[in-house]
């Protein structure tokens, strides 16, 4: 059981270090601006909500 716990702790530490590393890369090497341009181009950035159509009859 101790070996599994050690493995989980090592994986968690590795995951945290990779998270910090990739956040540093994205923020410092202008990759965020490129990703923002892609989301604007794809139309994902807009927060427009489409109206929902009622398909149920009103039961009274």
Place of tokens 């601006």: 33
The reported pLDDT for the residue numbered 20 is 94
Residue 25, C-beta contacts closer than 8 angstroms, at least 6 positions apart: 31
Whole-structure pTM value: 0.49
Q: What is the pLDDT of residue 36?
A: 64
Strand ranges (DSSP E) for the chain?
none
What pLDDT is recorded for position 8? 97
pLDDT over threshold 60, residue 13: yes
Q: 23-27, 32-36, 50-54 — which one is most confidently predicted on average?
A: 23-27
CA angle 21, 24, 30 (to 5 degrees): 135
**pLDDT per residue as tens digits for the range 17-32:** 999 998 888 777 766 6
Q: How far apart are CA 47 and CA 44, in angstroms?
A: 8
């Amino acid at each position: 059981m101790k070996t599994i716990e050690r493995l989980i702790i090592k994986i968690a530490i590795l995951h945290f270090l990779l998270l910090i590393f990739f956040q540093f890369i994205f923020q410092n090497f202008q990759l965020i601006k490129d990703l923002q341009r892609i989301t604007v181009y794809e139309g994902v950035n807009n927060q427009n909500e489409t109206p929902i159509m009622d398909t149920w009859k009103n039961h009274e």
